Amino acid sequence: MEKLTPLISRTEPWEHTKRKRTHTTPDPSGTSRVFDRRKQCWRVFTSGLWQVTLTAAFCAALMGVYYYYSKQAKLSDGQLRNYNAINIGLSLFLGAQLASAFKGFAQNIRWQLLSSRFLELKQFDMVLGCESMITSAQLLWSGRVKGRKLPSQVQWFCAISLLLNLAMQVAVAALGLIVAPDVNKLGFDNRELGNITITDFSKLKVSPIDPISVFLPPNSSPKALANAFGRAGEFSLELQNATYFDQHPDGNEAVFWDCNEVLDFCASSMVLRDCSEPDKEKGDPERCAVTARGVISAAFCETPKNSRFSTDNTLLVEEEDGTSNSLIWSGPQSRTVTTWASDDTVECGALCTAVSDQSVDCDTRCTVVKALVPILDDTSVDGLYHLYECESWVGVIEPLENLKQTIQNVKNTENAQIPDEVARIFASGIAWQTPASRSDDGSMYAQYPQSPRFSTGILDNSSQYISYSIAIFSSFSIGIMDRHGPTIRESGFPPMDQQKLKVDWNWVIFVLIALPATQLILAIIVTLLSSRAVIKDTSFIAAAQLLKPALDDLGSKGSILSGDEIVDHLGKLQLCYGVRDLGSGEYFVDVINRSDLTGDRDDGVWEPGRKMPEGHYDGPET
């Protein structure tokens, strides 16, 4: 236990042991102290080791904080605030600890610097205060030896001390760059209740300041908007099949489709977004995220019927029983691309049966879409077409079972729905474009000569592909509406950036090990160098007692003179922290004035640059 006492009590380097009183060597005043170089060396080392231990403790604490928070899959706002507070606090303590360690090194080694040579009074005073970084920086120039080109010991010490101190402080600051919260690529965090911005599907419209409005004709009708949205979605929304949807259940802003090859029934899902502050209309995509809410669009097409034009606006349709029926068709008679038509007056039937498991009435959200597809290998004069009659349906907004998210983001689901009349417009969006101009049949027609996906003149001529095209067009239209339509504010769980702590472990481990290791090496070097001289207390009282003989010429005058004024008044004194011999094996440390020495001083006791002798130290009798 006695060996551990220096570590526990942390005896300071300047706390020299008292002289033992004997009959032959009495010390009635109690002012005599023993300078034991080995013990002082041990005290300097244990003092530095204590500083190294504190530095290592702060580095280990930072390492633990980084490890704990980096293992979290995602950080909530509260966790992020806690991390920032702990990280900033530990970094500040670590920086202060490093500065404190360098201050201790300077307080120990300055006595060796003061004893290395004679210094001018101004230099002597600055070396006494070299624990200050400002003073150390000043000594880089003022600590030179006049007439000598090489740096002095004082300059070397100050330069190395400043560089290492600054390098360590920069290393601590750099931890903030190599360890930083980053937006997790997995998405967003929806765990805190607040206000949420969602698309208002109650009316089909777009803000005149939205960028997409420049591509729309002025005063566009809701049906024209539904068609324009679908065209835009073809080029800006990702289209994936259901297999991709199942493999990426965390959500993706895309249209997912699937078809039933037996029933020629196709459905697609559009995953919707939720946004937090700022409002989506102000354009902040960083705060919008896909959710568990989505809309399913579906289409069912019957077996196509062969058709020919008997007149310019009359289509002769062949029925299964061999008979023919006439159908007014005032749309374009293209032989290269498909013509899509919509008729609101026809009731739906087959599709309602296919989606009967839904919680809505199919009739109120369903329309009939027709597709007139030219048969390109037909060489007849009048041309043969396939006429498809399809039922298109748009469901309600509801959580999609394939997605992992389980939080119902929006509290008021009634305001977050697509009304029946708007759903019917989306359902037949592929056919809404130009009103019939040569007939009063009430139908509308659309063609897509520049779109390989919806022209179908060069694609599969099948009921499945036609139903697929209708369904994904409706989803495209809903998706663009979700991006550019008007918004409403509701209570819910807004998407917040999901943070994850990004740690460059190679650099973190290097920095957090290098800091205490470097400090330990410096502690050993300072221990070896500083113990060449007697280390005195850092108090002002001890400094005043030491400098008193050098200021005797000033007497009691100049009580409020500044340091520079005292230097000017006393002239160019050259002082050295040295040892005087009292005889009988006793010494005392003093500030030696160079002018007090006559001739060459070589009394075998001490001279500047030598080690101070071990023994008893006190002072002369007055």
In tens, the pLDDT along 43-71 reads 899 999 999 999 999 999 999 999 998 88
Do the strands 238-241 and 194-199 form a parallel or antiparallel pair, or are they unpaired? unpaired
Across the chain, which distance is largest between two alpha carbons, in Å? 143
Of 390, 374, 384, residue with least CA distance to 430: 390
CA–CA distance, 102 with 51 (Å, rounded to integer): 9
SS3 content of the chain, % helix, strand, coil (to 5): 40, 25, 35
The half-sphere exposure of 387 on its side-chain side, counting CA atoms within 13 A, is: 24
Check whether 506 has a pLDDT greater than 70: yes
Q: Which of 106-115, 215-224, 255-264 has the lowest mean pLDDT?
A: 255-264
CA–CA distance, 78 with 71 (Å, rounded to integer): 16
Extended strands (E) in 1-155: 17-18, 33-35, 119-120
In DSSP notation, 173-233 reads HHHHHHEEEEEEEEEEE--S-EEEEEE-TTS----TTSGGGGGS-TT--HHHHHHHHHHHH
Check whether 77 has a pLDDT greater than 90: no
Helix (H) or strand (E) holding 157: helix 153-178
- Phi–psi pair at 541, nearest 5 degrees: -65, -45
Write out pLDDT tens, residues 124-144.
889 988 888 898 898 888 888
The predicted model gives 220-226 an average pLDDT of 85
**Mean confidence (pLDDT) of the chain:** 78
- Phi–psi pair at 582, nearest 5 degrees: -90, -5
pLDDT band at 598 (very low <50, low <70, confident <90, very high): low
The predicted model gives 602-620 an average pLDDT of 77
What is the model's pLDDT at position 571? 79
What is the model's pLDDT at position 67? 92
Check whether 193 has a pLDDT greater than 80: no
What is the model's pLDDT at position 525? 92
For the chain, the domains span: 15-183+501-572, 191-494
pLDDT band at 254 (very low <50, low <70, confident <90, very high): low
Check whether 286 has a pLDDT greater than 80: no
CA dihedral 586, 589, 591, 594 (to 10 degrees): 50
The predicted model scores a pTM of 0.55
Check whether 10 has a pLDDT greater than 70: no
Residues 6+ apart with CB under 8 A from 102: 131, 161, 164, 165
What is the model's pLDDT at position 468? 86
% of the chain residues with pLDDT over 90: 15
What is the model's pLDDT at position 280? 47
> How many other CB atoms are found less than 10 A from the CB of residue 365?
25
What is the model's pLDDT at position 400? 67
Q: Tell the residue number behind the tokens 């190395």, with chain if given.
A: 160
- Phi–psi pair at 591, nearest 5 degrees: -90, 110
Q: Are 617 and 19 in contact (CB under 8 A)?
A: no
Write out pLDDT tens, residues 304-313.
899 988 887 8
pLDDT band at 248 (very low <50, low <70, confident <90, very high): very low
Q: Of the spans 204-218, 521-535, 537-551, which averages the highest pLDDT?
A: 521-535
What is the model's pLDDT at position 523? 93
Structure tokens at 620: 């002369």
The predicted model gives 196-200 an average pLDDT of 80
Q: Tell the residue number behind the tokens 């907004």, with chain if given.
A: 397
The predicted model gives 428-441 an average pLDDT of 66
Q: Tell the residue number behind the tokens 């006695």, with chain if given.
A: 2
What is the model's pLDDT at position 600? 52
Single-letter amino acid code for the residue at 53: T
Check whether 501 has a pLDDT greater than 60: yes
Q: Of the spans 156-160, 202-206, 252-256, 279-283, which averages the highest pLDDT?
A: 156-160
Of 314, 315, 295, 297, residue with least CA distance to 306: 315
Comparing 277 with 535, the larger pLDDT belongs to: 535
% of the chain residues with pLDDT over 70: 75
Check whether 226 has a pLDDT greater than 70: yes
Single-letter amino acid code for the residue at 63: M
pLDDT band at 542 (very low <50, low <70, confident <90, very high): confident
The CA–CA distances, whole Å, from 313 to 13, 14, 191, 326 equal 110, 112, 59, 10
CA–CA distance, 566 with 1 (Å, rounded to integer): 51
Write out pLDDT tens, residues 302-361.
888 999 888 878 888 998 888 889 888 878 888 888 888 886 665 565 555 555 444 445
Comparing 443 with 112, the larger pLDDT belongs to: 112
The predicted model gives 556-562 an average pLDDT of 82
What is the model's pLDDT at position 557? 81
Write out pLDDT tens, residues 576-590.
998 888 777 788 888
What is the model's pLDDT at position 183? 57
pLDDT band at 406 (very low <50, low <70, confident <90, very high): very low
Check whether 247 has a pLDDT greater than 70: no
The predicted model gives 197-214 an average pLDDT of 80
What is the model's pLDDT at position 586? 82
Check whether 507 has a pLDDT greater than 70: yes
The predicted model gives 506-528 an average pLDDT of 94
CA–CA distance, 69 with 503 (Å, rounded to integer): 10
Positive or negative CA dihedral for 91, 92, 96, 97? negative
